Every structure is written in structure tokens, then in C-alpha cells.
Amino acid sequence: MLETKLVERGGQNIIEIPLWVKEDLASNGENPHWTAPLTVAWPSYFNPANGHTYVLILQPMDIVTARTKAIAMDGYLVAINDSAENAFIVSSFYPLTNTLGYNTFIGLSDEITEGSYLWDSGENFSYSNWCVGEPNNDPNQGGEDYAEIKLHMNAYCIGQWNDVSSTSLDFALIEIPSAPPTTNQTNATISNLDVNF
């Protein structure tokens, strides 16, 4: 089990997660083994309006990987329930992502029934902020069943949503339904969180 903690670095709240690193082969040629933990830090913000913590994983990944990481952190890909929450996300994370060239997965999909959108969290889908012409389920992409929020400066509709295919690579915005720990206080235990560098 891995323990997370909240630290402040340069005025930014960061969730630190120690990860065990698997070496391919030991120097003596024995089987692969695990080395001492390496700390990975991702930006996070607490939303006082709903008491939830939002963690942005700045690592391009597909939707399956994004969902797996969210579950490993006792959360889910973000469910955006109103314009205030959408504005909170944009104001918090756009300054961090605007020059990186990737959009960010949110936990909305119509993978079960085309055109019927559901949040990964199980919350009701009652608010949307789609870009003009979206969702379009682009057949040139093999169909698009997942949603992203546009959070980079080359996006044509910053802060709005777009539907994407299962092969798209985006950052992941994870919503954890609890307040962050205070600095140096244990937050949660995490297991099976795989990070590729």
C-alpha cells in the first residue's frame, strides 16, 4: 500500500505518491525486482463548493488507463455537474496545461448506448458544455464514445467539451470525493498504480 500526502511547492498544492519502481533485471542477472519508492507529484486543487479534491495526471494515456488510475486513487474521472464546477476546473488547470498540447479526459461517455451520456461516478448527467458541433461521434475516428475538456491554448473551444475515440491520448483529471490532507498528513492508501516514464 502506498501513502499519499499533500505538499506545497512554489505556491502550488501537489499530491505526492511514492511508487515502487520495477527494474528489468537485477545486476546479477536474477529475476526482476522492485527498488525503493520513487515519488511522483501531480497538481491538485480542493474545491470548497463540493468538498472534493481534483488531481491532474500530466501523462498522456488512453481512456482505459485513465479510468484505472482514477480507481487506484479512490476516485473517478471528473464529473462536471454545473457551470461553476466547469469554471473552477478551467481556472485551476488551464494555466498548467495550456502549452502542453493535450486535452484532458473527463468521466463522461456514451459507450453503453450511443447518445445517452453517463458519468463514471454514477451522478446524473444534467449539465453539458460541448464545443459547437459536438458531440459528433466522428466516424473517421471509428466512433467517439468518451469526453474530454479542452485545456490547451490551441483548442478551438477552451474549457468546453469534445467527444473522442478510445484510442485518443489525453491527460486525466481525477475527482476524489474528499478533502485533501493537510501537509504531511496521510491521505489514502493506493495500490497497483502503474506509472510509465
C-alpha dihedral (193, 56, 48, 15), degrees to nearest 10: 50
pLDDT at 7: 57
pLDDT at 21: 41
What pLDDT shows up at residue 5?
57
Query: What is the DSSP secondary structure assignment for residue 4, as one 8-state letter?
Result: -
Can you list the domains of the chain with their CATH numbers? Answer: 46-188 (3.10.100.10)
Residue 178 has a pLDDT of 81
pLDDT of 43 reads 83
E-state strands within the chain? 2-3, 5-9, 12-23, 33-47, 52-61, 76-77, 104-109, 118-119, 146-149, 161-164, 170-176, 189-190
pLDDT of residue 136: 94
pLDDT at 160: 97
Which pLDDT tens digits describe the chain residue by residue (197 residues)? 345 555 555 565 655 555 444 344 444 455 444 444 445 567 888 999 999 999 999 999 999 999 999 998 889 999 999 999 999 999 999 988 888 889 999 999 999 999 999 999 999 999 999 999 999 999 888 889 999 999 988 778 999 999 999 999 999 999 999 866 554 333 333 333 444 43
First to last CA, the chain: 21
Residues whose CB is less than 8 angstroms from the CB of residue 11 and which lie 6 or more positions away in sequence, other chains included = none
Q: What is the pTM of this model?
A: 0.74
CA angle, residues 47, 117, 48, in degrees to nearest 5: 5
